[in-house]
Amino acid sequence: MYKKILVPLDGSELAKKALDHAEKLAETSDAEIILLQVVALFKPIYASPELMTPIVVDEKQKEVAERYLTKLGEELKKKGFHVTAKVKTGMQVAAEIIDFAKESGVDLIVMCTHGHSGITRWVLGSVAHKVLTRAETPILLVHLKR
C-alpha cells in the first residue's frame, strides 16, 4: 500500500506522537519511514539596509535537529523499521515539507496538529493546515490535545 511514509517533526513531544501511527502503517505495508525536520531560516533586522544579510542559517539549531532525528531513527531501526532522516532549511516550513514529499516520491505524510483554533491559529498560522490544504500527497493528520 505505502512505500514511503513521511513524518515531519519539530522536536516537540506532540509532533513525535505521529510516529505511533506511522509505525503501524509502515509495519503493515513494509514501508520506509522518512523523518524530516525543517529548520526555519530567518532574515536578521538591521537599522541599515547596507548591513543586512539576506538569509541566516542557525547552524546550532540544525545540529540539534540532526541529533534528534538520528536518535529517533536509531530507535525505529531497533524495532526493525527502514528509516531515513533528513534536515532541511527554508523560509516556509510547510512549503519545504510539501516540496520534499513531492521530490522524494512519498506516498503518505503523517503529522500531528497542535489543535490551535480561532485567533491563535490566525496569528501563529498552522504548518499542518498549510500542508493539508496545499499538498498533493495524501495526509494522515492526527489531532492530539496538549
- pLDDT of 66 higher than 60: yes
Which CA distances in Å does 98 have to 11, 60, 103? 18, 24, 9
List the domain range (segments joined by +) for residue 105: 4-143
Residue 29 in grid coordinates: 505495508
Amino acid at 119: I
Model confidence at 120: pLDDT above 60? no
Average pLDDT, the chain: 85
Q: What is the pLDDT of residue 119?
A: 45
Query: According to the per-residue pLDDT averaged within each range, which of 28-37, 39-48, 88-97 is highest?
Result: 28-37
Number of domains in the chain: 1
What local confidence, expressed as pLDDT, does residue 45 receive? 56
The more confident residue out of 100 and 54 is 100
CATH number at residue 105: 3.40.50.620
Please, which pLDDT band fits residue 122 given cuts at 50, 70 and 90?
very low
Label residue 57 by pLDDT band (50, 70, 90). low
3-state SS string over the chain? Answer: CCCEEEEECCCCHHHHCHHHHHHHHHHHHCCEEEEEEEEECECCCCCCHHHCCCCECCHHHHHHHHHHHHHHHHHHHHCCCCEEEEEEEECCHHHHHHHHHHHHCCCEEEEEECCCCHHHHHHHCCHHHHHHHHCCCCEEEEECCC
- Rounded CA-CA distance 5/89 in Å is 20
- The pLDDT of 119-134, averaged and rounded, is 69
pLDDT at 105 over 90: yes
Looking at residue 123, what is its pLDDT? 40
Residues 6+ apart with CB under 8 A from 86: 34, 35, 36, 37, 69, 100
Q: What amino acid is encoded at 72 in this protein?
A: L
Strand partners, 5: 33, 108
9 or 112, higher pLDDT:
9
Please tell me the pTM assigned to this model: 0.84
Task: State the pairing for strand pair 4-8/108-113.
Answer: parallel
